Amino acid sequence: MLKYSATTLLFSLIFLSTITAQDWISSSGAVTTNTLNDVQFVSSQTAYAVGDLGTVIKSTDGGNTWTDVSFGETKSYLSLHFFDENIGFVGGPFSSSGGGSTEMLAKTTDGGQTWDILSSFDFEDFHDMEFLNADTGWVAAQDGKIIYTTDGGSNWSSKSAGTEDLLDMDLVNDSTFWVAGENGALYSSNDAGDSWDQAIQIDTLGLSQNDHLYGVEFTSQDTGYVTGWTYDSQSFQDVGFLLQTTDGGTTWEKSDYDFQHLLYDLEIGNNGEIVLAGGKEQFGENESNAIYISEDKGETWRVISDGDGPLFWTSLDSHSENWIATGESGATATFTLADDTLHTDIITGLDIADISFGDSDHGVFVTGRDKVQARIFSTTDGGTTWEERLKLDGRKEFNSVGFAGGQYVWAIGTDHYTGDSRWLIYLSLDKGETWTELALDFPVHEQLNYMEKVQFLDIENGFIKIEDVLLRTTDSGATWEKTVEPTSLSFTDFHTIHFLDSQNGWMAGDDHIVFTSDGGTTWETKFQQDNQSTEIIEIFALNNSTVYVSMQHGKLMKTTDAGDTWSDLNPSTSYDLNDLHFIDENSGYVVGDGGRILTTADGGQNFTASYDQTDKNIHSIFVLDENTSWIAGERGALLTTTNGGGIATSVEEISQKDIPSTITLDQNYPNPFNPSTVINFEIPQNSRVKLEVFDMMGRKVRTLLNGKIRSAGQHSVTFNANDLASGIYIYRLTAGTHVLTRKLTLIK
């Protein structure tokens, strides 16, 4: 088992996972929004997949639906191997106690319900894992390392095949092995892995020594295929290629087929069909994900694609006639080689610019941000399912969407290459199901600037912030008037607004914040900085006095005196913060790049950061009430919460089966812990309960429960200390007039 030295943990680590309520769950149709890196069928119905941020998912219906069986790590898992429905391994980076990162192998014997960490290694990037039997397994790793075990993963040794990162491995039989990797690395072994020989000089095939090989697969001792991608000087883009050998790798030929996508995986079907998975790194007007299928050894190909799906597929596997593809943003799809359809309802690959809900059931999001994917989706069941309602072709994007009360929804965007008008304004009168384009009564030459934000206060009163103008309507959009520019400033200095009512509103830009109390007739400057300072991104006004501003590089500001003075807040992140919302004076959310979801329960004095929900940039948050919210971002990242988003990173579970006779506070478990632990307590009657965590200097570092009335019974709170330093902390329970304390130990 994995052991640490006496100077670090002084104990052995055996990780047993428990499935608990999550703060945020995917609302895109996928069980996760993280990219999936490997997939494997283990029976006709059971499949597993692994991905970024510690994602492990399982299907028991042939890949149609999936459940999360992750076990607490947040590093990327790159490979897996299962022997049957219950027993299998996943491999990937593991955070050590000293703050470094080593590789690990985790094993389950009960279908992912619990996991044991078996081994750690001194190398990185556990890229591909193949087992000959329950004892003997091989791993393609970084820096030319080939790792192997002969005792089921308890102990590992290594061989070398060059110095490049190795990405894929194929065990043809008990003695013939192949491995492929970066910079043209292709090696073979004919003695069961004892020695490895270079098997190709890639530049002799019209390719570059810098080209990467992502997949290798042999159908027999003699016939094999290798796939990767290279730069095409004719199309000025990276494209895939396929290499083939019929003499055991002595000679290779490059297919002359014109692949238009990057290729990430290669699998061979039961009847010798070649199946390739890939896509585009960047979405374009004619670009999509793709699965290539050839039934004649690569002579001809057909392509199947989910046009609104992920930007690329990363992995393939099959069982009998059934196939699964996994990819970007948690996308999964099932298909057969006889059916040119990918069976998936997942919304991925589209950058979601903004999201809004009119009630708990009806919501709309718009896509855009890269000028080629203007779409509008709506839901009538609270985000369980989404349907595309509008799709615009060409160089168009939507930037903002907002409900206007009742049935009305407004969406605005920009048409970048249509000569007559560049503004896109659409209105729905039925909560987002059907849409009509509106033409505003402004000269064409005034409609050339970027649409930025729409906000309606009710059905009649609304504002649209455009790059060089702020428009206002008081008659449901029948007519629009221009508001007055702030003195000595231009509307181009600002890009976002937040109005509290038809008269009182805030406008913010890169370096300025202004306020109006007369609907935009006059403006008062409330903040200004030089143009070398960190730029302002978004503003949220809780009321006329309390206003928050999110900025680049993880900066936040707050005023409680209507902008007369501003104080800097410390969310402990350097990522750009793109949107924010406060429910009341204490509780609020801030979201940003890198999947950052920040919560505060004390008005911004302290923030808790979530890093394990998604790795995608988050663009927008919409809060319906204190419990229900949605966040949306790049490549289909779409998450929802019904428990307040885990404000202060606590998840409370309540049991009232046995009402205790006295107050108790249990020792947290596990203890020591990293990064989360569970705190249990009992109260004999309904009480106002606070649960707080302090460092050894007496400084409060977290509020887990904030003084609301809790029912009599047993309570369980999960405390995530991902952003805190290692050390001893004190947690204190206050219930009515009773106070109990205990110590806990965080070791990273």
Q: How many domains does the chain have?
A: 2
The pLDDT value recorded for residue 68 is: 86
In 141-256, the DSSP E strands lie at: 145-149, 157-160, 166-171, 177-181, 186-189, 197-198, 212-218, 224-232, 237-245, 253-254
Domain shared by 364 and 400, yes or no? yes
The pLDDT assigned to 371 comes to: 56
The pLDDT value given to residue 420: 56
> What secondary structure does DSSP assign to 1-24, as a single string?
--B--TTTTSSB----------SS
Whether 615 maps to a domain, the answer reads yes
Q: Is residue 507 domain-resident?
A: yes
Do residues 515 and 390 both lie within one domain?
yes
The pLDDT of residue 419: 56
Q: How confident is the model at residue 99 (pLDDT cuts 50, 70, 90)?
A: very low
Place of tokens 């830009």: 509
Percent of the residues in the chain that have a pLDDT greater than 70, as a whole number: 88
How far is it, in rounded angstroms, from Cα 177 to Cα 192? 7
Residue 234: Cβ-neighbour burial (10 angstroms; 0-12, 13-18, 19+):
exposed
Asked if the model's pLDDT at residue 593 lies above 90, the reply is yes
Token pair belonging to 124: 């990185």
What's the pLDDT score for residue 285? 56
Give the CATH number for residue 702.
Answer: 2.60.40.1930
pLDDT of residue 303: 92
Q: What band does 659 get if pLDDT is binned at 50, 70 and 90?
A: low
Does one domain contain both 626 and 534? yes
**Domain boundary at 649, 669, 695, which?**
649
Instruction: Give me the domain span that covers residue 486.
Output: 352-649
Q: 515 and 383 in one domain?
A: yes
The answer to whether residue 305 is domain-embedded is no
Residue where a domain stops, chosen among 613, 632, 649: 649
Q: Are residues 590 and 729 in the same domain?
A: no
pLDDT recorded at residue 226: 96
Q: What is the CATH number of the domain that holds 420?
A: 2.130.10.10
The reported pLDDT for the residue numbered 349 is 72
To which residue do tokens 């290779």 refer?
252
Specify if 67 maps to a domain. no
- Whether 399 is in a domain gets the answer yes
The tens digit of pLDDT for each residue in 5-58 reads: 222 222 222 223 332 335 788 888 888 888 899 999 999 999 999 998 889 999
Say whether pLDDT at 283 is over 70: no
* For range 489-496, the mean pLDDT: 94
**Residue 438 included in any domain:** yes
Final residue in a domain of this structure, among 604, 633, 649? 649
Average pLDDT, the chain: 86
One domain, residues 717 and 576: no
Q: pLDDT for 246-279, tens place per residue?
A: 999 999 999 999 998 899 999 999 999 999 999 8
User: To the nearest whole percent, how much of the chain has pLDDT over 90?
Assistant: 53
In this predicted structure, which of 111-125, 476-490, 494-508, 719-733 has the lowest mean pLDDT? 111-125
648 falls in which pLDDT band (50, 70, 90)? very low
- Tens of pLDDT, residue by residue over 679-714, are 999 888 777 788 989 887 777 888 888 766 677 888
Asked whether residue 229 is assigned to any structural domain, the reply reads no
* Beta strands in 656-737, from DSSP E residues, in sequence order: 664-665, 676-683, 687-694, 700-710, 713-720, 727-735
Domain match, 563 and 669 both: no
> What pLDDT score was predicted for residue 479?
94
Q: Quick one: 607 and 478 in the same domain?
A: yes
Average confidence (pLDDT) over 652-678: 77
Q: Assess whether 682 and 703 both reside in one domain.
A: yes
Residues 666 and 635 in one domain: no
> Residue 449 pLDDT > 60, yes or no?
yes
Domain co-membership, 474 together with 583: yes
pLDDT at 709: 66
What value does the mean pLDDT take over residues 615-637? 90
Residue 633 shares a structural domain with residue 679: no
Residue 42 falls inside a structural domain: no
CA pair distance 578, 309, nearest whole angstrom: 24
